[in-house]
Amino acid sequence: MIIKEINIRKMKMTMKHPFTTSFGTFQEKEFLLLEVKDELGNTGWGESVAFHSPWYSEETLKTNLHIIQDFLIPLILGKEIGHPDEVSALFGSIRKNNMAKSTVEGAIWDLYAKCNKMTLAEALGGKLDKIEVGISIGIEENVEDLIELVRGFVEEGYKRIKVKIKPGYDVEVLRELRKRFPDVPLMADANSAYTLKDINLLKQLDDFNLTMIEQPLASDDIIDHANLQNELTTPICLDESIHSLEDTRKALELGSCKVINIKIGRVGGLTEAKKIHDYCMVRNIPVWCGGMLESGIGRAHNIALTTLPNFILPGDTAGSSRYWEEDIVSPEIVVEEGFITVPLNYGIGYEPNLKAMDKYTVEEINYKA
C-alpha cells in the first residue's frame, strides 16, 4: 500500500446524555477522524480518542492535530507500507503522543484489512463472531436516578455494569446498587480520585463483590496500586497507568493489578494493544476493551480488537444509541441481549455514513503525496 492521500476531519457531536467522571463532565464531543487512501483508491479510517481538555491524559484534540500534521503525516505520506505493524517503527522517533499515533495507525490497519479482503478482526487474528458488552455509567447527582439507569441497562441485557465513583460518592452508592442488584456483575471506576490515605475506605469496597475496581489511585502510579492490591480482595484493574507493553510488564511484576483495561488510543495503536493482549494471555491476566466515548469509527476498532481470545471480560463497547442520536457509521452499532455481532464486511466492517459525517464536520484538511 502506498499512502497517497490523507484527510483529517475535525468533528463535533453532541452526546445524548452528559457523562460525568471524577474529573469532569462531557456533553459536546470534539474529536478527529483521519482517512488514508492508497494508490488504488482503497480507504481506511481512524479516530483520535483525545478529548478537548487534558483531563484523562495530557493529550488533547489540538496536541493530536499538531503531532499528526507536523510529525506523523510527513513520516508516512507517499511511503509504501507492507503491514501496519511497520507503522510503530516508522513513528519510533516520536516520543509518547500515543493517541495521535493510534489515530493514524488505526486508519492504516483498516486500509490493510480492506486491501487484503479481510475483516479487521481477522487481520488482527480475532476469532469471535460476537462479543460481550458492558456499559459505563457516569456519576449521577441523585442515586435513585442512577438506580433507574442501571435497571434499564440490566433489562437491555448489558453483561456488566460499571459505575464511576469519587470521594463522597462511593461506599453508599455501591451498597445501594448491590442491595437492588445482588447478582449483576458490577464494577467501579475511580479515574484516579483516591490516594493510599483512603485505604480504609477502599477496603470497604471488598464487601460488594465487585468484579474489579478500576484505577483507584494516581494516573501515573503503579507502586501504590501494588500496595493497595495487597490489602484488597477485589481485583484492581489499571486504565490510565498503562501506556505500553512495558508498563504492563512492570505493573504485573509489581502486582499492581490483576486485570488490564486496554484502550487502543492510550497504548499507541492496535499493534501495541495486541502485544499487551498476548502478554497477558500467557500469564492468565484477563483483559477487556475500554471506551473513550467514541463515535462509530473508533468503536468499530474496539469491536475488532475484542474478538481476540483473552478479552474475557465485557468491554465498555456499548452501542451507538447509548451515546448518539445519530452515529456516523452505517449500519449503526447495535447491542442485542448484551452482544454485538462482529460485522463481516472488510476492514472495520461499518461504512462511514458520509451524509451524517458531513453534518458534524467542522473542518477538513487534505494532504496529497
39: Cβ–Cβ under 8 A, 6 or more apart, which residues?
1, 2, 4
Question: What sign has the CA pseudo-torsion 359, 17, 149, 212?
Answer: positive
Binding partner of residue 56 among Mg ion, ligand OSB, none, CB under 5 to 8 Å per kind?
A: ligand OSB
105 binds Mg ion, rule: CB under 5 A: no
Binding partner of residue 292 among ligand OSB, Mg ion, none, CB under 5 to 8 Å per kind?
A: ligand OSB
189 binds Mg ion, rule: CB under 5 A: yes
DSSP letter string over 170-233? Answer: SHHHHHHHHHH-TTS-EEEE-TT---GGGHHHHHHGGGG--S-EE--S-TT-SHHHHHHHHH-S
Within positions 24 to 83, which residues make up the interface with ligand OSB, using CB under 6 A? 56
User: Is 37 a known active-site residue?
Assistant: no
192 binds ligand OSB, rule: CB under 6 A: no
The type of residue at 37 is K
Pick the catalytic residue from 159, 164, 166, 274. Answer: 164
User: Is 263 a known active-site residue?
Assistant: yes
Phi, psi of 188, rounded to the nearest 5 degrees: -130, 140
Write down the least CB distance from residue 345 to Mg ion, Å.
30
Binding partner of residue 110 among Mg ion, ligand OSB, none, CB under 5 to 8 Å per kind?
A: none
Within positions 221 to 240, which residues make up the interface with Mg ion, using CB under 5 A? 239
191 binds ligand OSB, rule: CB under 6 A: yes
Integer Cα distance of 210 and 163 in angstroms: 11
Integer Cα distance of 235 and 233 in angstroms: 6
Within positions 318 to 337, which residues make up the interface with ligand OSB, using CB under 6 A? 318
136 binds ligand OSB, rule: CB under 6 A: yes
316 binds Mg ion, rule: CB under 5 A: no
Within positions 250 to 289, which residues make up the interface with ligand OSB, using CB under 6 A? none
Rounded to the nearest 10 degrees, the angle between the axes of helix 245-254 and helix 270-282 is 30
Please select the residue that binds ligand OSB; options are 44, 134, 268, 290, rule is CB under 6 A.
Answer: 290
Binding partner of residue 99 among ligand OSB, Mg ion, none, CB under 5 to 8 Å per kind?
A: none
Binding partner of residue 307 among ligand OSB, Mg ion, none, CB under 5 to 8 Å per kind?
A: none
Report the run of H or E that residue 102 belongs to, with start and end.
helix 98-115
End-to-end CA distance of the chain: 13
The candidate with the shortest Cα–Cα distance to 170, out of 19, 22, 20, is: 22
294 binds Mg ion, rule: CB under 5 A: no
Write down the least CB distance from residue 155 to Mg ion, Å.
24
The candidate with the shortest Cα–Cα distance to 62, out of 99, 35, 95, 25, is: 99
Q: Is 366 exposed, middle or buried (0-12, 13-18, 19+ CB in 10 A)?
A: exposed
Write down the least CB distance from residue 49 to Mg ion, Å.
12
CB 242 within 8 A of CB 279: no
Residue nearest to ligand OSB (CB): 291
Question: Which residues here bind Mg ion, judged by CB under 5 A?
Answer: 189, 214, 239
**Can you give the binding site for ligand OSB, defined by CB under 6 A?**
21, 56, 136, 189, 191, 239, 290-293, 316, 318
Point out the residues that are catalytic: 164, 263
